[in-house]
Amino acid sequence: MGILIPAWVDGALVPVDKLEAHEKGLKHKAVSVFAVRGMDILIQRRALGKYHTPGLWANTCCTHPDWDESASACAVRRLREELGITGLYPEYRHRLEYHADVGHNMVENEVVDVFLAHVRGPLDLNPNPDEVMEIRWIGYHDLLAEVKRYPEKFTPWLKIYLHHHADTIFGPDLIISAKA
């Protein structure tokens, strides 16, 4: 058995193997983080060794909490594990649900706690090559335009977040400033 994540089976939250949850399309808990620096968002390109959506661009980081882990602790842990980021404490923004085909007969059926981390100074980045093949900062407006022009280069969940939940995740200040 692999990594156990919280998933709903027959209406009860139980520990389930992460791969099994995706293969069966079970509803399960997840965490996503967006690091922002002014109008820019840190995005990552998923490593080619990932079991789904390899090589696609995604938000700063995302994962599934361990069985007994809080969403906020998970967000801090995953910033460190994926990108080597320490000293950022993301704020909770929103809980959302989505369902998306992620290829290879796998489905994301997630209940996601989304966090926003404001970067106000220098940020040391040390991406884990098993998780991340590339990172970059991109302006909010530029990201929207790139997703529209090249949707096949982005993960399904990033497109869902940007198209359906941007106001809640980023707040009106970022959205309004980006539209100006």
Task: Please give the annotated binding residues for Mg(2+), written as ranges.
Answer: 82
Burial of 60 (0-12, 13-18, 19+ CB in 10 A): buried
Residues making up the annotated binding site for Mn(2+) are 22, 28, 64, 108, 110
Coil, helix or strand at residue 159: helix
Which of 20, 23, 61, 62 is an active site residue?
Answer: 62
Look at residues 68, 41, 46 and name the one whose alpha carbon lies nearest to residue 134.
46
**CA 10 to CA 136: how far, in whole Å?**
41
Which of 69, 110, 134, 146 is an active site residue?
Answer: 110
Q: Is 110 a catalytic residue?
A: yes
Helix or strand (DSSP H, E) at 164: helix 156-164
Looking at the annotation, which residues are catalytic?
62, 110
